[in-house]
């Protein structure tokens, strides 16, 4: 059980909050403040309780070197515009004398953003001395960055071992939704997994088939499963060296009473380009010089039937080459159908990882899903059943 921020007495305390401010930038300014807004509930909770709020984050990959192109100074400006009643302070380091003095000047209810933690090599190395320097700044630690929780870094794991540590409100929301979807779901539980390669999702698929009632495999990775079942997939992208792995996953599913659903038809073409000449064929009719770039209408209908009978849906990855028309059709139609079931028929629909957010936004379906994680790698590792260092560090000793 994780320790939650609501259980902490933070009045008058210095609270170090690990946030995800690795935001898109354009011309030196934040171009999308979604991640800043996601941190606001935790920041406001702390401010209202009289805490001194010290924010820590990384930006980009400076590899332990000070690189002003990756400074968080512009982020402080953008955050300041989102918070009424306080001037967000910024300090040009995250440890050391300047940081300590900036913290000492902070009033109750004040907000300070530290400079990029990755300007120090000790961050990604989870160096104990660097973690101790961070811990010196605060009385309590709060992790509100699920997207970084799969990394055992100083600001995500090391410091949490040194001072009392709690989960922030955004982190709690992520954990609660994903846990509810996988560990204690309303059944039937359906997982939809798409993307290009089985090789990137072996652990994910092996874990899911032990938990879900049905697993739909789409995208190019479906070609590997089809080939493993003896279908000739022509020139379609597939991984010949992973046919045995695909068969192993299907065996695990059979032993777990989990049904794997694969495409029964597809949209094939000889050219990977938008609006290429194409045709719809059954999966045993793909020509030697053709590649399947999207699921066909019969497959979409089959998936829609599975979604309609499910009570919980976990979605990761697109069903075809959604970046180019018209090979986005299956992803768009299935996503919109799932969104309608979530909005109007009680389906719990949780999605995240990789291209998933972009695909669901492209379909105009994202806002009606129950929850969409933007955490990327952390979301995938959670679905894989792996322990996340940043989460483990927040667990209490109670059973």
In 10 A of CB 300, how many CB atoms?
A: 22
The answer to whether the CB of 54 falls within 8 A of the CB of 112 is: yes
For 385-389, which contacts have Cβ atoms below 8 Å and span 24 or more sequence positions?
385/203, 385/207, 386/150, 386/203, 388/149, 388/150, 389/149, 389/150, 389/151, 389/152, 389/156, 389/157
DSSP 8-state code for residue 277:
-
From the candidates 125, 377, 385, 386, give the one annotated as an active-site residue. 377
The CA distances from residue 140 to 5, 9, 71, 163, 203, in Å, are 10, 9, 25, 6, 35
- Checking DSSP bridges between strand 291-295 and strand 312-316, what pairing results, if any? unpaired
Quote the radius of gyration of the chain (alpha carbons, Å).
Answer: 23
Q: Is 141 helix (H, G, I), strand (E, B) or coil?
A: strand
Burial of 57 (0-12, 13-18, 19+ CB in 10 A): buried
| Residue given tokens 């969104």 in the structure block | 339
Instruction: Please name the residue ranges forming H helices in 49-168.
Output: 73-82, 97-104, 121-124, 128-135
At CA 16, angle to CA 48 and CA 89, rounded to 5? 70
CA distance 352 to 350: 7
Q: How many residues does the chain have?
A: 399
225 three-class SS: helix
Chain centroid to Cα 262, Å, comes to 25
Q: Which of 306, 317, 345 is closest to 215 using CA atoms?
A: 306
User: Which of 66, 173, 197, 206 is an active site residue?
Assistant: 197
Active-site annotation holds for 354: yes
* Cα–Cα nearest to 294, from 363, 194, 365: 194
> Which SS3 state, helix, strand or coil, does residue 82 take?
helix
Catalytic residue among 122, 320, 353, 354: 354
> Hey, CA dihedral for 31, 34, 36, 37, is it positive or negative?
positive
Centre a 10 Å sphere on the Cβ of residue 125 and count the other Cβ atoms it contains.
15
Q: Pick the catalytic residue: 35, 151, 211, 278?
A: 35
Sign for the CA dihedral angle at 194, 196, 200, 205 comes to positive
Catalytic site residue 377?
A: yes
Do β-strands 214-217 and 265-269 pair in parallel, antiparallel, or remain unpaired?
unpaired
Residues classed as catalytic: 35, 197, 354, 377
């Amino acid at each position: 059980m994780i320790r939650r921020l609501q259980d902490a007495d933070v009045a008058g305390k210095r609270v170090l909050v690990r946030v995800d401010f690795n935001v898109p930038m354009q011309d030196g300014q934040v171009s999308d403040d979604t991640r800043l807004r996601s941190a606001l509930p935790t920041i406001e909770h702390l401010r209202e309780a009289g805490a001194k709020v010290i924010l820590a984050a990384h930006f980009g990959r400076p590899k332990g070197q000070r690189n002003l192109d990756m400074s968080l100074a512009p982020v402080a400006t953008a955050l300041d515009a989102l918070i009424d009643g306080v001037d967000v302070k910024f300090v040009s380091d995250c440890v050391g004398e300047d940081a300590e003095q900036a913290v000492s000047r902070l009033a109750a209810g004040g907000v300070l953003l530290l400079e990029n933690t990755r300007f120090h090599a000790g961050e990604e190395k989870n160096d104990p001395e660097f973690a101790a320097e961070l811990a010196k700044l605060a009385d309590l630690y709060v992790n509100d960055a699920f997207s970084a929780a799969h990394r055992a870094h100083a600001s995500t794991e090391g410091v949490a071992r040194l001072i009392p540590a709690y989960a922030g409100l955004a982190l709690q929301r992520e954990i609660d939704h994903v846990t509810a979807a996988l560990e204690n779901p309303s059944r039937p539980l359906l997982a939809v997994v798409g993307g290009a390669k089985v090789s990137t999702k072996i652990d994910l698929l092996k874990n899911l088939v032990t938990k879900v009632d049905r697993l739909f495999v789409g995208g190019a990775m479906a070609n590997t499963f089809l080939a493993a079942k003896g279908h000739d997939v022509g020139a379609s992208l597939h991984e010949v060296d992973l046919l045995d792995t695909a068969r192993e996953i299907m065996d695990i599913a059979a032993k777990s009473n989990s049904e794997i659903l694969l495409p029964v038809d597809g949209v094939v073409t000889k050219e990977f380009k938008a609006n290429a000449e194409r045709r719809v064929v059954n999966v045993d009719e793909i020509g030697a010089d053709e590649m399947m770039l999207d699921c066909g209408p019969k497959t979409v209908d089959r998936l829609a039937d599975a979604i309609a009978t499910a009570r919980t849906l976990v979605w990761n990855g697109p069903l075809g080459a959604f970046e180019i028309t018209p090979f986005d059709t299956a992803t768009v139609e299935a996503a919109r159908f799932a969104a309608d079931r979530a909005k109007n028929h009680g389906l719990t629909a949780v999605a995240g990882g990789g291209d998933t957010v972009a695909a669901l936004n492209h379909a105009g379906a994202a806002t009606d899903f129950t929850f969409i994680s933007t955490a990327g790698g952390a979301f995938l590792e959670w679905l894989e059943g792996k322990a996340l260092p940043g989460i483990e560090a927040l667990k209490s000793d109670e059973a």
